[in-house]
Amino acid sequence: MLKEKKEKKITSVLHKEIVSLLNEQIWLENHASFYYLNLSIEFSNNGFNGISTFFLNQSQEERLHMTKIITYLLEKDSIPVLPQYNFMEDDEEEFNILSLFENSLYNEKRITTFLNKIISKCKEVGDYTTENFMQWFIIEQREEENKFKEIIDDLKIVGDDGSGLYNINKELGLDISGEDN
Ligand code: FEO
């Protein structure tokens, strides 16, 4: 009886390549969450408490994205794989405000590209449920990419101007985008 139950649990209704891609997506979301958490600390250490709050919210959003995928896999009797690695080993960056935001946008684009890969595979194997599930992430990515692009544009306009940076820092401290999920 117990054996039957166990066998049922590991027999996924999802195509194995979809499960594998979703687990890779968990890795990316988790990486993004830790990447932004690290930036939150960096910005706080450098006196930008508003930007620090912004990245803390971003980190929480990415963690939520990861847990959404974990929940979906469990619903489908599939096994989520939690990432186990040194999250920050490749992310040693010097403190440059503009380039840290540009790198964040680069990461978001990487995630979007991967989402498209999952959706392509869903179409290939006829998995319309997962394809539908991924639509939420596509909309979310569009918003995130636009958010970073706007901040990068503002940073380029202000350059090294202290009062401009002060205002950006203040505005981003008011960002509550982490609460709309
Ligand atoms: Fe969940 Fe911004 O990728």
CB < 8 Å & 24+ apart, contacts of 41-46: 42/95, 42/100, 46/95
| Smallest CA separation from ligand 1 atom 1, residue | 62
The model carries a pTM of 0.86
127 has a pLDDT exceeding 50? yes
Distances (CA, A) of 155 to 117, 128, 152, 165, 176: 32, 41, 5, 7, 20
CA distance 149 to 155: 10
Query: Can you say whether residue 94 is alpha, beta or left, with left for phi > 0 and alpha for psi between -120 and 50 degrees?
Result: beta
Query: What are the tens digits of pLDDT across the range 79-100?
Result: 999 877 666 666 667 899 999 9
The closest-lying atom of ligand 1 relative to the alpha carbon of residue 66 is: 1
Query: What are the tens digits of pLDDT across the range 144-171?
Result: 999 999 999 999 999 999 999 999 999 9
Q: Is 32 in the pocket of ligand 1 (CB under 6 A)?
A: yes
Q: Is 108 in the pocket of ligand 1 (CB under 6 A)?
A: yes
Measured in whole angstroms, the distance separating CA 106 from the mean position of its chain's CA atoms is 12
Total domain count, the chain: 1
Distances (CA, A) of 138 to 7, 116, 154: 34, 8, 25
Where residue 75 sits, what CATH number does that domain have? 1.20.1260.10
Structural domain span for residue 103: 2-179
